[in-house]
Structure 1
Amino acid sequence: MNEIRRVAAVAATLSTAVLVAGSMPAWGQDEEKTLGWSKNAELSLVATSGNAESETFSLKASFVRTMERSTLALSAAGLRAESTTTSRVAIGPPPFTVRETSVTVPTAENYALRGRYDHLVSETFFWHAGLTWERNEFAGFTKRLTGIGGVGNLWWDREGSRFRTDYSLTWTSQDDLVANAALADGFLGVRFSYDYWRRLTATTELSSILIADQRLDASADWRADFTNSLSISISDRLALKVGLQALYDNLPALGLAPIVDATGAPTGGTVPFELEKLDTIFTTALVVDF
């Protein structure tokens, strides 16, 4: 509950910043497009060693092809965190020999591949289609494949500011680690999303993206992906980026809890339970433009 309140407070603060920034008048004429490919990579690494050992690594690569009235965007992302626990026992009479045993286990791991094509029909209206593959066993699924198609509005795209909204139909195929007999693996849904970007200063940019999905055959099954980030350029090709992503699933996948007896010994049986509805990912990354 405290985590939900904390994330809600951060999300509200960032949303307020987005709305305030969006209400400010945009400056300049429409930004001239740079046609062709643009590429960047985001790299984050945190490692500790010694008495405590852990490592968190994330990488995201993005490729965007800009044409006169169309855009093709491709991306690949991955995150893995692991920690090492060391136990020690003393053997023999004095002087004792201390024996160490180390066990390394993953504590977070997810991967995603995304592709999307947008085509402007007019200056403010476009259609789009895309495909996303995700894997997140800690959230309870080994594969989530989502195809999208729909239309959207480009409310403005000026120098230093851009805002658009999408309205889509989706088809999702999901393989859970623990099957839920009450829900089908494949289902139709609807999606609403917005994408807001603003240059706050000559070296600072704000980005806010919301993706909300509703499953059509189960009203309780809806998801939201809310990502906010702030990047600061340190050169023409390098930037530091801070981001917070909140992933909410109102009907999360199932896990299995082992059944133990009164002494704590396992009985061999298991009982299903719902995983947590909210996951948050806070990242600091180095961004490299190619």
Structure 2
Amino acid sequence: MKFFKIITVTSVLALAITASLPLLAEEGAEEKSWSNTTELSLVNTTGNSETSNFAITNKYATAIGKGTFNLDFDALRTETTTRVVQNIGGVLVVDETTAVSAEAYKLNGQYNRPITERLNWYARAGWYRDEFAGIDNSYAAGAGIGYVFFTDDSHTLKGEIGLGYVQEKFIDGTDTDFAELRGFLAYHRELSPTSKLFSELEILENLDETSDVRANGLIGVSANLSNRIALAVSYALKYDAEPPTLTLVDAGFPDVLFEFDDLDTTLKASLVINF
């Protein structure tokens, strides 16, 4: 559990630093050209039950020339300790085994530059790992155009469409690469002066095998506690129409195939820190 002790201390320090920042910018101060939002979710139990669940999402944005660069990072890790109690020859034997039951990491960078008030172009690159879904490393890069369908004080809808290239390596050592078509929609709505709804949908079409459709979805709400701190609840899904498969070998017996699940979901409550 050392990993989670470090994470817990780091999270507390981050909150302390954030709380010490001024909640309101000084009047007349120069407007900054960057922003950073961090979401933290932590569950840790000790004693008779030992489990640890940590999730972090960090979104950084900065102005570069006439465009904007966004760098997003996601991490999720869950550890569970199982205790087995036995009487062996009149002696109490306690065995505890700690194992990781969920772990995933994602890093994406994207640059957007306006063409007109509503139209823009983008270039993006990303990396992803989820060994529990069979993915050892997945790299993707692409470019396309984006369009703002509407935006006002209450809500915003924008979309993107583009082409990309994906290279994946699976946990059994096999790999694949393919061209993909990407579509993306994002909708944000102000529910009140201190709360908002956010949703995203990304569709990825494998152009080499069109039956291999993938989708990433997100919907959630957040409520401000102060100018810098908020609470958020979100539900995310990840779908793969043709998930990876593993060939399981046992000498003297026929090989068997195991197929990973095609749908992963995550329900998360988080503390949101805005810098």
TM-score relative to the length of structure 2:
0.84
One-letter amino acid matched to 1:218? E
131 and 281 in structure 1: CA distance in 2 versus 1, 3 angstrom threshold: same
Partner-residue secondary structure (3-state), 2:210: coil
Q: Could you tell me how far 1:209 is from its partner in structure 2?
A: 0.4
Q: Does 1:282 align with 2:273?
A: no
Structure 2 residue aligned with 1:207: 198
Runs of 4+ with >4 A deviation: 256-259, 266-270
Q: Does 1:157 align with 2:151?
A: yes
Contact 1:121 1:127 in 2 (8 A): yes
Q: Could you tell me how far 1:91 is from its partner in structure 2?
A: 3.0
Structure 2 residue aligned with 1:188: 179
Q: Could you tell me how far 1:155 is from its partner in structure 2?
A: 1.2
The separation in 2 between residues aligned to 1:102 and 1:35, in whole angstroms, is 51
Q: Could you tell me how far 1:59 is from its partner in structure 2?
A: 1.1
The separation in 2 between residues aligned to 1:241 and 1:203, in whole angstroms, is 12
One-letter amino acid matched to 1:57? F
Structure 2 gap ranges (5+)? 1-30
One-letter amino acid matched to 2:130? N
Q: In the TM superposition, what whole-angstrom CA distance separates every residue of 1:72-107 from its partner, at most 9, and x where no partner exists?
A: 101211100111111111133xxx431100111111
Partner-residue secondary structure (3-state), 1:178: coil
Q: Could you tell me how far 1:218 is from its partner in structure 2?
A: 0.4
Q: Does 1:246 align with 2:237?
A: yes
Q: Could you tell me how far 1:35 is from its partner in structure 2?
A: 5.6
TM-score relative to the length of structure 1:
0.79
Contact 1:173 1:186 in 2 (8 A): yes
Q: CA RMSD in A?
A: 1.9
Structure 2 residue aligned with 1:271: 256
The separation in 2 between residues aligned to 1:35 and 1:161, in whole angstroms, is 24
Partner-residue secondary structure (3-state), 2:267: strand
One-letter amino acid matched to 1:166? E
The separation in 2 between residues aligned to 1:220 and 1:179, in whole angstroms, is 23
The separation in 2 between residues aligned to 1:124 and 1:211, in whole angstroms, is 20
Contact 1:35 1:67 in 2 (8 A): no
The separation in 2 between residues aligned to 1:196 and 1:44, in whole angstroms, is 23
Structure 1 residue aligned with 2:100: 106
The separation in 1 between residues aligned to 2:161 and 2:181, in whole angstroms, is 8
Partner-residue secondary structure (3-state), 2:165: strand
The separation in 1 between residues aligned to 2:111 and 2:196, in whole angstroms, is 24
The one of 43, 65, 70 equivalent to 1:46 is 43
Structure 1 residue aligned with 2:61: 64
Structure 1 residue aligned with 2:74: 77
The separation in 1 between residues aligned to 2:88 and 2:135, in whole angstroms, is 43
The separation in 1 between residues aligned to 2:153 and 2:168, in whole angstroms, is 40
Structure 1 gap ranges (5+)? 1-33, 260-265
The separation in 2 between residues aligned to 1:187 and 1:128, in whole angstroms, is 20
One-letter amino acid matched to 2:260? L
Higher mean C-alpha displacement, 104-113 vs 156-165: 156-165
The number of residue pairs the alignment matches comes to: 245
Q: Does 1:230 align with 2:221?
A: yes
Structure 1 residue aligned with 2:110: 116
Q: Could you tell me how far 1:47 is from its partner in structure 2?
A: 1.8
The separation in 1 between residues aligned to 2:92 and 2:246, in whole angstroms, is 38
The separation in 1 between residues aligned to 2:120 and 2:212, in whole angstroms, is 28
114 and 37 in structure 1: CA distance in 2 versus 1, 3 angstrom threshold: same
Structure 2 residue aligned with 1:176: 170
One-letter amino acid matched to 2:201? L
Contact 1:246 1:281 in 2 (8 A): yes
The one of 119, 127, 137 equivalent to 1:133 is 127
Contact 1:178 1:253 in 2 (8 A): no
Q: Does 1:86 align with 2:83?
A: yes
Q: Could you tell me how far 1:255 is from its partner in structure 2?
A: 2.7
Structure 1 residue aligned with 2:34: 37
Contact 1:221 1:251 in 2 (8 A): yes
267 and 140 in structure 1: CA distance in 2 versus 1, 3 angstrom threshold: same
